[in-house]
């Protein structure tokens, strides 16, 4: 039996109860997304075994019972590595010793080796330093390395970038992406930052007030109107494309999406690579005729599949582009003026599209 089966009923730290009954995938990166106080950390604590709910429930990992009414596997026997928001390096050990701490407690030798981890996370320079002498980003890299060196079967990351400044968190994100590609390790990634989630996750779980509001593949959930994501200011669809020819003269690169060509900022990547493209709903406008002399480069033919009013002034559209979806947030006035209806053939003008760093899209 595959997956991580959870049935939990557990009071959280604030005024909510974590109540979930679900099966999460145990391949790739699963993001648990929700506002603070929605029970994300409580959920991870239950999975790691750091917390045992009093109410009946279960935690089963790939058919193995970690928690049932009768059994409770303690955290040190679960082989679940946990990277905390605050790194939690041992202050009396230097970086090398912190890494050794994990290696010497391995019960199985199927994890990555010391040299490999030091190389991936570029820790060689830091090995002799004390944790107190590290920057927040360096601490987090060491914590990730230490977690991997325990040869885990499941890696839990609890907002590992939340304490980092922007550039450190971007850098750390690149390291994490490298790891998700190199390792065949299921990862649960807790975050309240949808952009981080879009970069890393394959599967998305939306947690609200201790309950799972929705779950599904990242691309699917981001392109739907009936989730909380679509109501957020930064709502954005994510589409998959293939890198095409570059145009160094104008600093642009072609990206093939569903037989259409989009232009994005110049990429260093070789043509043929599959990449994610994040297109914010507020940067997509629609028109009935294809404008011929617009300054906007990316104008794609789409079909309206769903229209949803958001408040009194705005409307969110779900636009089909082949088998993928775009979101567009426009004013209700425009929607009325254009007499938009489901099934309408329109042109979507995309003002900005950010190519995400991830290049390991193998899910559908």
Partner 1 sequence: MSNAELDAIGLTIALAAITTILLLIFGTPLAWWLSRQKAKWPALVEALVAMPLILPPTVLGFYLLLLLAPDTAVGRAWYQLTGTQLAFSFSALVIGSVIYSLPFVVQPLQAAFQRVPEDLLKAAATLGANPLDQFRSVVIPLTRRSFVTAASLGFAHTVGEFGVVLMIGGNIPGETQVLSIALYDYVESLQFAEAHRLAGGLVVFSLVLLIMLYRQDRRDNWRVRA
Please report, as ranges, the residues that interact with partner 1 according to CB under 8 A.
Answer: 48-50, 74-82, 84, 86, 88, 90-93, 101-102, 105-107, 132, 146-147, 150
The label of the residue with tokens 């907002």 reads 159
The label of the residue with tokens 């005024």 reads 15
The token duo for 243 is 């890198």
- Separation in Å, CA 219 to CA 222, 304, 330: 5, 18, 21
Report the residue number, 78 or 276, with the smaller CB distance to partner 1. Answer: 78
DSSP 8-state class, residue 171: H
The label of the residue with tokens 């930064």 reads 234
- CA dist., res. 326 & res. 203, Å (int): 18
Nearest distance from residue 150's CB to partner 1, in Å? 5
Nearest distance from residue 229's CB to partner 1, in Å? 30
Report the residue number, 94 or 230, with the smaller CB distance to partner 1. Answer: 94
Report the residue number, 157 or 304, with the smaller CB distance to partner 1. Answer: 157
Report the residue number, 101 or 347, with the smaller CB distance to partner 1. Answer: 101
Report the residue number, 80 or 300, with the smaller CB distance to partner 1. Answer: 80
Nearest to 195 by CA among 233, 243, 241: 233
Report the residue number, 80 or 360, with the smaller CB distance to partner 1. Answer: 80
- CA dist., res. 227 & res. 112, Å (int): 38
What DSSP line would sit under 108-154, residue for residue? ---S--HHHHHHHTT-GGGTTS-GGGS-HHHHHHHHHHHHHHT--SE
Cα angle for residues 304, 310, 314 (degrees, 5° grid): 75
Report the residue number, 92 or 166, with the smaller CB distance to partner 1. Answer: 92
Whether residue 143 contacts residue 93, with contact meaning beta carbons closer than 8 Å, is answered with no
Nearest to 345 by CA among 361, 321, 325, 364: 321
Nearest distance from residue 260's CB to partner 1, in Å? 46
Nearest distance from residue 46's CB to partner 1, in Å? 13
Nearest distance from residue 105's CB to partner 1, in Å? 4
Nearest distance from residue 88's CB to partner 1, in Å? 4
- CA dist., res. 291 & res. 347, Å (int): 9
Q: What are the residues whose beta carbons fall under 8 Å from the beta carbon of 62, sequence distance 6 or more?
A: 1, 2, 3, 4, 26, 153
The token duo for 360 is 């390991």
Nearest distance from residue 234's CB to partner 1, in Å? 31
Nearest distance from residue 102's CB to partner 1, in Å? 5
Report the residue number, 97 or 352, with the smaller CB distance to partner 1. Answer: 97
């Amino acid at each position: 039996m595959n997956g991580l089966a959870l049935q939990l009923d557990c009071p959280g730290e604030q005024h909510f109860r974590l109540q979930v009954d679900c099966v999460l995938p145990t391949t790739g990166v699963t993001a648990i997304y929700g506002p603070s106080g929605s029970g994300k950390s409580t959920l991870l604590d239950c999975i790691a075994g750091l917390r045992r709910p009093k109410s009946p429930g279960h935690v089963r990992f790939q058919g193995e019972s970690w928690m049932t009414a009768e059994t409770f596997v303690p955290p040190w026997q679960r082989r679940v590595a946990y990277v905390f928001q605050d790194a939690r390096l041992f202050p009396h050990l230097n970086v090398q010793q912190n890494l050794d701490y994990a290696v010497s407690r391995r019960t199985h030798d199927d994890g990555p080796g010391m040299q490999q981890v030091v190389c991936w996370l570029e820790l060689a320079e830091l090995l002799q330093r004390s944790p107190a002498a590290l920057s927040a980003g360096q601490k987090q890299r060491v914590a990730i390395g230490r977690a991997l060196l325990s040869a885990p079967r499941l890696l839990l990351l609890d907002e590992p970038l939340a304490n980092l400044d922007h550039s450190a968190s971007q850098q750390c994100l690149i390291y994490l992406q490298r790891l998700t590609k190199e390792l065949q390790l299921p990862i649960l990634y807790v975050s309240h930052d949808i952009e981080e989630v879009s970069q890393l996750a394959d599967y998305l779980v939306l947690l609200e007030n201790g309950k799972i509001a929705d779950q599904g593949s990242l691309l699917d959930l981001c392109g739907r109107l009936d989730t909380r994501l679509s109501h957020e200011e930064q709502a954005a669809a994510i589409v998959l494309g293939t890198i095409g020819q570059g145009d160094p003269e104008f600093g642009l690169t072609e990206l093939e999406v569903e037989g259409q060509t989009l232009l994005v900022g110049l990429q260093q990547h070789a043509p043929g690579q599959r990449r994610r493209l994040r297109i914010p709903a507020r940067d997509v406008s629609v028109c009935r005729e294809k404008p011929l002399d617009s300054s906007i480069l990316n104008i794609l033919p789409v079909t309206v599949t769903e229209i949803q009013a958001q408040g009194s002034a705005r409307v969110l559209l779900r636009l089909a582009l082949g088998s993928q979806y775009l979101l567009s947030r426009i004013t209700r006035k425009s929607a009325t003026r254009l007499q938009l209806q489901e099934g309408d053939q329109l042109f979507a003008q995309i003002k900005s599209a950010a190519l995400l760093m991830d290049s390991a899209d193998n899910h559908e």
